[in-house]
């Protein structure tokens, strides 16, 4: 009796697997496809031409998710490509530990490595660049990103989220980091109602 039950179970599993997309194998491949799709949602590369006709990249770094939300909103409005700057060595999840790492990076003027392949920045006219304010300016990994390619001739549109600090100090710092590059006045994007007018002002929505 036991043997018959085991044989029946084996036959049932074999039958479901054989049925393909609607069966067991199908379920496995469906979950993989869903995972791939959600991974693609994070980075959208290869569209480049935005709604205003320019080649636009929305590039951002986010530790806690605030800046990511704004970046996705901006990408939705503007079009073009979306890229997340991810550190090769992830920052600790816990605030206190992350602060320790960030303090060292800043005091030693480090350039933390970025994970994976960078987008070809030379292919874009405009880079909309988002980051959280860390100790009054942009995180050091954002400097790694902007120093990775010669950005002369490009327009950089910075935006930031913060606890309360303004974006101005980071814009000044980016201007010093990128002499000869057009770094426009940035947006402190803590209030979402300010996003659309800022994009309109910079002719990103035409």
Number of residues that bind ligand FMN (CB under 6 A): 20
**Residue 130: beta bridge partners?**
60, 159
Binds ligand FMN by CB under 6 A, chosen from 58, 102, 155, 187: 102
* Rounded least distance, CB 23 to ligand FMN, Å: 42
Tokens of 191: 């209030």
C-beta of 119 vs 132, nearer to ligand FMN = 132
User: Mask 162-191, x = binds ligand FMN (CB under 6 A)?
Assistant: xxxx--------------------------
- Which DSSP helix (H) or strand (E) runs through 31? helix 24-42
User: Mask 51-90, x = binds ligand FMN (CB under 6 A)?
Assistant: -----------xxxxxxx----------------------
**All residues at 6 or more sequence positions from 124 whose CB lies less than 8 Å from its CB, including other chains:** 48, 55, 56, 57, 80, 81, 154
Torsions phi, psi of 5, nearest 5? -60, -45
User: Mask 19-38, x = binds ligand FMN (CB under 6 A)?
Assistant: --------------------
159 binds ligand FMN (CB under 6 A): no
C-beta of 54 vs 67, nearer to ligand FMN = 67
Give the three-class secondary structure for 56. strand
* Rounded least distance, CB 161 to ligand FMN, Å: 3
The one-character DSSP state at 186 is -
Give the three-class secondary structure for 179. coil
* Distance in angstroms (rounded) separating the CA atoms of residues 201 and 165: 22
Site residues for ligand FMN per CB under 6 A: 62-68, 98-99, 102, 132-136, 161-165
């Amino acid at each position: 009796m036991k043997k018959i039950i085991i044989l029946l179970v084996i036959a049932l599993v074999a039958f479901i697997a054989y049925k393909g997309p609607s069966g067991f194998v199908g379920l496995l491949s469906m979950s993989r496809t869903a995972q791939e799709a959600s991974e693609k949602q994070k980075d959208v590369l290869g569209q480049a031409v935005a709604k205003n006709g320019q080649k636009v990249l929305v590039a951002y770094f986010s530790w806690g998710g605030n800046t990511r939300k704004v970046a996705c909103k901006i990408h939705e409005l503007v079009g073009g490509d979306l890229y997340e700057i991810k550190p090769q060595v992830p920052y600790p999840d816990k605030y206190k530990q992350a602060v320790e790492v960030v303090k060292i990076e800043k005091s030693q003027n480090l350039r933390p490595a970025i994970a994976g392949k960078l987008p070809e920045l030379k292919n874009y006219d405009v880079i909309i660049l988002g980051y959280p304010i860390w100790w009054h300016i942009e995180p050091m990994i954002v400097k790694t990103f902007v120093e990775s390619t010669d950005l002369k001739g490009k327009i950089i549109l910075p935006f930031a989220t913060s606890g309360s600090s303004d974006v101005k100090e980071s814009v000044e710092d980016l201007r010093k980091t990128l002499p000869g590059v057009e770094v426009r006045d940035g947006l402190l994007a803590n209030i979402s109602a300010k996003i659309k007018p800022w994009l309109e002002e910079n002719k990103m929505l035409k």
